[in-house]
Structure 1
Amino acid sequence: MRLLHPLVILAALPLTGCGSDVGVSAGGDCLSTYDGVVSAESWPALKQSLLDSDHFGRVAGVRTQARGDDVESRGDQDAVRVVDLLNRRDRRLAQLEVWRTDDGGWSAGQWGQCTD
């Protein structure tokens, strides 16, 4: 019976290719997406929305890591800022990319890269 348990675990490994924050296309391949997207009409309003959000835990602060040409976007949006969401001890809860929307607003999200 001891040998059966590792075999069951190994057989189930291919089923765990994608996490819950990424979608799956019709072909069964993973689809990379932004998770926890927050949008607002202005930068100050976006910052406040991030502070009010509990998607990544209790946010006590927002710190800008990079802006403009210093930003290397990992996702499919043209990021203009990279921000850290901080807890009350100034520890990073999440790092988000921030981009401008087509209507002039602001959006932020965490890139979830799916690997097969």
Structure 2
Amino acid sequence: MRRFLSTTLVLAAGCTAAALAWADEPKLPVKTDDGTILYVAPKIAPTEKSADTLGATIGVQRPSGAAAYGGMDTSGSRPIYSVGGSTGGNTSFSAGVESDGKQNNGVKAGITIKY
């Protein structure tokens, strides 16, 4: 019985750690009258006695699923800027770009099909 309890606690701690590692950054939503959600997702780095903000993403999400975002990440040696969006509906197309203005440039695109 004691071994079962210790094994269960170890597994629970491992699952909790994995869930926290995969967790998304928190979004602070503001809902409007027409159902559109405006949000701010700060990039937060905890310190010993407080938390530092290292940029943020600001976005808008429509009830149809269409969304757009823009943001800045200052955690590296150069700030990285990003912008992107997606369409709504059963077949959604998305695209985004990010750059630090010099050597770090990226483009992403995707399709989501709901069935």
| TM-score, with structure 2 as normaliser | 0.28
Q: Which protein is bigger by CA-based radius of gyration?
A: 2
